[in-house]
Amino acid sequence: MSDHYQRMQLIKHELLKNSVDPTVVKLFKHREQQNSKFSRIWKATNILAIANDEVDLNLKFPTQTTREGLGFGKYNPNPSQSERRKLVISKAQEISQESLLSHTLSLKRQSVWLEWAEQTYPFDFSWQNLIWGRLSVDVLKFVINSSVNWVRTPDLLHLWGYKKSSCCCLCGAEKCTLHHILSHCSFSLNDKRFTWRHDSVLALIFYTLMEHIEAHNKSQKTFDKPDLIQFVKAGFNKTHSQSLKTSNKNNLLSKGNDWRILADLPSLNFVFPPEIYSCSERPDILIWSPKLKIVILLELTCPAEEGIQAAQLRKQSRYMPLMQNISQSTHWKPQLLTVEVGVRGFVAISTHQVFLKLGMQSRKVSSMCKKLAAIAAKCSYTIYLASKSKTWDHSRPLLDVA
């Protein structure tokens, strides 16, 4: 709310200062002299004075901000009054965001979100999701508070003086933080609470990929036939068909039409296909093509957002021996893909890229990542509510937001 108020004040300041009516300008200067007496009141002039200097510097000495070469950018050395006003307001907002970021860095507990801000996509707090989404208000509050470690945990209540002890009610750990409740409690781990969240996320990924692979196998043409020449009328471009072809050639499934898929879910009997390699490993999802001799191992992890990169490295090191054994002792070509969905509901950027590699459309991938975030947030909120109870319903069904 304060950011919106300051932005409106900046716009009003620039409109009145550069007004065509001299009376309005005179009243504006008189108002500024009156406000100069109050030093504790937030003033738009303080930020705009710095922003105007920054804009003047950028106009005199422009820099390259895009991937285009020097001289190819849209640079206007003489902007109009309205264009300059937009530049000044934009620069003032950047200065304000930098000051907020520097203040956040000084906070030890609330600045935890900076550790994964560049590795994950932000949670969907759009008006459409807030009003028409299926997430309750309590879950949305939980996501906001958990992102800054402001959920009322025993550790935080002990810090505030509301509890004498900060121990975990389940495993007895000394410091029961939010990180401990959602991803580190040994009792919850042995009680299959984290497994329930993991399988709920895995089920959505599996059924989405299964539909995608079935549609891909049906629509994929037979590769034994040569490509026919496609004639194009004069004046027409073949951009749409070419874009579809190039996009299909870049994904991992484009060269085959006999792909199969398995998942390590409670309702499915998962056994590593012996025709590929006989082992007791059970990756979360297995995709393979008998024709191409290609096998794709997809491993899901639901870690705390602070440990997304460590979880990815841990999964890669675990399955590296299996990948080497398959490639050295068989004719199959293995590939490992890791998917990370944070316990607070923040999906890793690498997860989005994995599904794009499998040939899914960007729109469908974005929609699925939002659903994954919602499922993880709902499961984590349930685990948080049950952090004081040792009773857990093991027959609880897997969550689904479809």
Q: Tens digit of pLDDT for each residue in 314-352? A: 999 999 999 999 999 999 999 999 999 999 999 999 999
Confidence check: pLDDT of 107 > 90? no
Count CA atoms within 13 Å of residue 343 on its CB side.
Answer: 25
Beta carbons within 8 Å of 331's beta carbon, 6+ residues apart: 293
Residue type (1 letter), 234:
A
Residues 272 and 285: beta-carbon distance below 8 Å: no
SS3 (DSSP) at 213: helix
Residue 210 — pLDDT band, cuts 50, 70, 90?
Answer: very high
Q: Which range has the worst mean pLDDT, 4-8, 102-106, 247-251?
A: 247-251
Query: 137: Cβ–Cβ under 8 A, 6 or more apart, which residues?
Result: none
279-326 pLDDT, tens digit per residue, is 999 999 999 999 999 999 999 999 999 999 999 999 999 999 999 999
Phi, psi for residue 149 in degrees, rounded to 5: 55, 50
Which two three-digit tokens encode residue 112?
A: 């935890």
Q: Quick one: which of 385, 365, 373, 380 has its CA closest to 126? A: 373
| End-to-end Cα separation, the chain, in angstroms | 33
Lowest mean pLDDT among 116-130, 169-183, 349-363: 116-130
Residue 257 CB partners (closer than 8 Å, separation 6+) = 216, 217, 220, 221, 222, 223, 291
- When pLDDT is cut at 50, 70 and 90, the band that residue 229 belongs to is low
Torsion region of 34: left, alpha or beta (phi above 0 gives left; psi -120 to 50 gives alpha):
alpha
* Reported pTM: 0.80
Distance CA(188)–CA(164), nearest Å, equals: 23
Please report the pLDDT score of residue 373 as a whole number. Answer: 96
* pLDDT exceeds 70 at position 161: yes
Give the rounded percent of residues in the chain with a pLDDT score beyond 70.
Answer: 88
Whether residue 395 is predicted with pLDDT greater than 60 in this model: the reply is yes
Q: How confident is the model at residue 40 (pLDDT cuts 50, 70, 90)?
A: low
241 pLDDT band, cuts 50/70/90, is: very low
242/371: higher pLDDT: 371
| Residues contacting residue 130 through CB under 8 Å, at least 6 positions apart | 140
Q: Does residue 42 carry a pLDDT above 90?
A: no
